A and B are shown apart, each in its own frame.
Chain A
Amino acid sequence: MRLVEPEGFGANGVGGGDGDERLLELSMGPQHPSTHGVFRMNVVLDGETVVRLQPVFGYLHRNHEKIAESQSYLASIPYTDRLDYFCSLSNNWAYVRAVETLAGIPVPERAEYIRVILAELTRLQNHTVFLGFLLGDMGGWGTALMYAFRQREEILDLFEALTGSRMMCNYMRFGGCRCELPSGWMEQARAVVAGYPAFLDEMEQLLVENEILVARTQGVGVVSAEKAVNAGLTGPILRAAGVDYDIRKVDRYGIYDRFSYRVPLGEHGDTYDRMMIRLLEMRESLKILQQAMADLPEGPILHSDVQVRNLCPPEGEAYCRVEAPKGELGFYLISDNTARPYRYRIRPPSLINLTLLEEMSLGMKIADVMVILGSIDIVLGEVDR
């Protein structure tokens, strides 16, 4: 923390220079509980109002891209779990799809359905946790977060029963999925999906009309649609600004064109809209889940002639993206026909959504910055890689 002389103040006598007009530079993080991990920002404050904000990240940088270039294609799958560690299955899917495109590996239909089911379950639990943490950022620490975690635990139980791990799933493989659903899994999953609307109703009753929450979020951190598009924002934060852009609808990757669901859009682009978009998206995810679970075909789960070890895709490049819960997650791979990718690059939604943090925060109070940061929904594992 230090006091800084603002430009044009003091020296020319505008402010008088007795100390009251001086700005306060505050370093928030990297251990701040509201910065969602090891994120730091240098905030310059005039009283309580933010006049400058400089994000500082890289505390969790682990050289993921370079490590991936030095090992086999298979060995990178568990590393992708650790990007956005709330949504390991979406990350798996994006990476696996990139390699499948590169090597031209077909995916059996049953595996596609299971991927959709898992990706939507991931979206559900990510948005659930998001709601809990957003309340925590506003000072309602504990109650909503615990409700959210309790509900998410049901989905994590499903993940653990299927993949062996609650968060580091490492489940998808080139040409399908790793193992068949254990007996009873589908019934358990149906029960979780059937019980979810009750939780969403309760969450809505808890949050949507709460006067304090409305006062803290409406008109806070507004992003216009134009600016959101120019900055390359994706995911719920872009749709909250009113831009109809959902990669599930735009690319129709996998088998998403077989399901009927809608893409909720906001109109104000503020924090409240971002919260509501997530609530509505969860309801749409439940629709997709119900359809996918009803149509799940029998058949093989893994394409039979895929080489697991020493996969050498033909020379070429591929970029594949999926609608991860936080936005567009893309993997760009270049193969030089060896067992290791020549170039491995990730387009992380968290990092790019974070770039507008200063724009959103200028003129807001310091307490609002935490809410705005929470509403962007970042995970530092993905921001820093």
Chain B
Amino acid sequence: MKLLKHIRFLPGSGILKGMLVTARNLIGSYYDPRRLRTVRYPEERLPLPENSRSVPFLVYDGDDAETGLRCVACHICETECPARAIHIVNACDKRGKVLKRPHRFEIDISACMGCQICSEVCPFDAIMMDNAYNHAAFERFDSLTLTRERLAKPNAYFHRIKPTEAAEIDSRLAADRSRMEERRRKKEAANATHNESAR
């Protein structure tokens, strides 16, 4: 620092001081990780934070991606999506009755901006944010439209990428289920006593 004070009045001293900074950075980059924060990307990748998000995916419980899907095709995410990137068609049974599950569920990831509003408004915790970021494709339409088959991912995958959030949601869902069970049992008991007294 003393040296700096001496060179202050020399012409060109400002540049010299700047050069000291660049020299410190040049040498520092060999041993100080704060001065060299980059990695050699495709071979080496930095871990993503748990909250990191890219595009949505659909969670299914159990092993079957068809029946285990949490989505009930309520269309809330479709209406709330700011980019209108979600397209849902309900499944129908043989007589044409609309069922509470999606026949088609498509997300156009060329329009999706990854804002996570869909997963925020979903009342069933069915749609979650993925963190996979390699979505480049050589073709514009079909490869960038994620269909239900490509969107459905097991709950185990969700646990792997976002353990904290997944555990939170699982415990909430379990609590909901046990509450429903309780209510159902009470109702049955009430019905039973009602029937008994009626008899």
Q: Is A71 an interface residue (CB 8 A)?
A: yes
Q: Is A205 an interface residue (CB 8 A)?
A: yes
Tell me whether A75 and B14 are in contact (CB under 8 A).
no
Residues of B within 8 A of A208 (CB): 14
Which size bracket describes the interface of B in this complex?
A: 35 or more
Count, chain A residues at interface, CB 8 A: 39
Q: Is B12 an interface residue (CB 8 A)?
A: yes
Q: How far is the CA of A71 from the CA of B76 in the complex (A)?
A: 14
Q: At the interface with chain B, which of A19-27, A36-44, A156-164, A218-226? A: A156-164
Q: At the interface with chain A, which of B109-117, B138-146, B174-182? A: B109-117
Residue on B with the closest CB to A170?
B115
Within B21-43, the residues touching A (CB, 8 Å) are 21-22, 24-25, 34-35, 37
Q: Is B51 an interface residue (CB 8 A)?
A: yes
Tell me whether A308 and B18 are in contact (CB under 8 A).
no
User: Smallest CB–CB gap between B51 and chain A, Å?
Assistant: 4
Tell me whether A74 and B15 are in contact (CB under 8 A).
no
Tell me whether A164 and B116 are in contact (CB under 8 A).
yes
Return the contact of B117 from the options A74, A143, A182, A206 (Cβ within 8 A).
Answer: A74
Residues of A within 8 A of B11 (CB): 211
Beyond known contacts A150-B35, A157-B49, A182-B51: 11 more, CB 8 A cutoff: A75-B81, A76-B82, A77-B117, A78-B113, A143-B22, A160-B49, A165-B114, A209-B13, A209-B14, A211-B11, A213-B14
A-B contact pairs, 16 of them (CB 8 A): A75-B82, A78-B113, A78-B115, A150-B37, A157-B49, A161-B51, A164-B52, A164-B53, A164-B116, A165-B52, A170-B116, A182-B164, A206-B21, A207-B18, A214-B14, A308-B121
Give residues in A with beta carbon < 8 Å to B: 71-72, 74-79, 81, 143, 147, 150, 153, 157, 160-165, 168, 170, 178-179, 182, 195, 202, 205-214, 308-309
